[in-house]
Amino acid sequence: MPDRNHTTASPFCLRLTQEERARLETEAAGMALGAYVRSRLFGEDAGPRRTRNRHPVKDHKALGQVLGELGASRLASNLNQLARAANSGSLPVTPETEAALRDACDAVAAIRADLMKALGLSPGTER
């Protein structure tokens, strides 16, 4: 039997009738169908299922809040307008413009920090 620690998972597709699927769902009793089928096929020899995301959300409330604030803000639109003006050479470089750009950068950094916190990542973590 191959060592599961050194192999990658391989997807397998199986076509079922509606009746067959309904029977499986009933027998699984709320268990994920893939996990149920694996447990039926391999019993106790079924290896643990690896999750796709190594960094699950740690704080759903914080994530929802920051995503709501981001959606309600015009930050993306404003940054796009600034980039367009900078690329065309029409962005005047004044102390006010520089302050506005610094404020925008601070806002983006704060959003990034909030998202990383909600995802349970430390500031130096790269995905």
Q: Taking a C-beta distance cutoff of 8 angstroms, is the pair 120, 58 a contact?
A: yes
Whether residue 7 is contained in a domain is answered as no
Question: What is the predicted pLDDT for the residue at 87?
Answer: 78
Q: Are residues 23 and 66 in the same domain?
A: no
Low-confidence ranges of the chain (pLDDT < 50): 1, 127
Q: How far apart are the first and last CA of the chain?
A: 33
Structural domains of the chain, count: 2
Q: Tell me, what's the pLDDT at 19?
A: 94
**Which tokens belong to 111?**
């959003």
Are residues 69 and 110 located together in one domain of the fold?
yes
Question: Are residues 72 and 107 part of one domain?
Answer: yes
DSSP 8-state symbol, 51: P
Q: For position 50, what pLDDT does the model report? A: 62
DSSP string spanning 91-120? ----HHHHHHHHHHHHHHHHHHHHHHHHHT
Residue 53 lies in a domain: no
Domain assignment present for 50: no
Residue-range definition of the domain harbouring residue 93: 60-119
One domain, residues 38 and 70: no
pTM comes to: 0.42
Q: What is the sign of the dihedral through the CA atoms of 113, 116, 121 and 126?
A: negative
Query: 119 CB contacts (<8 Å, ≥6 apart)?
Result: 55, 56, 57, 58, 63
Within-domain flag for 105: yes
CA atoms within 13 A on the CB side of 19: 0
What's the helix, strand, coil split of the chain in %, to 5?
60, 0, 40
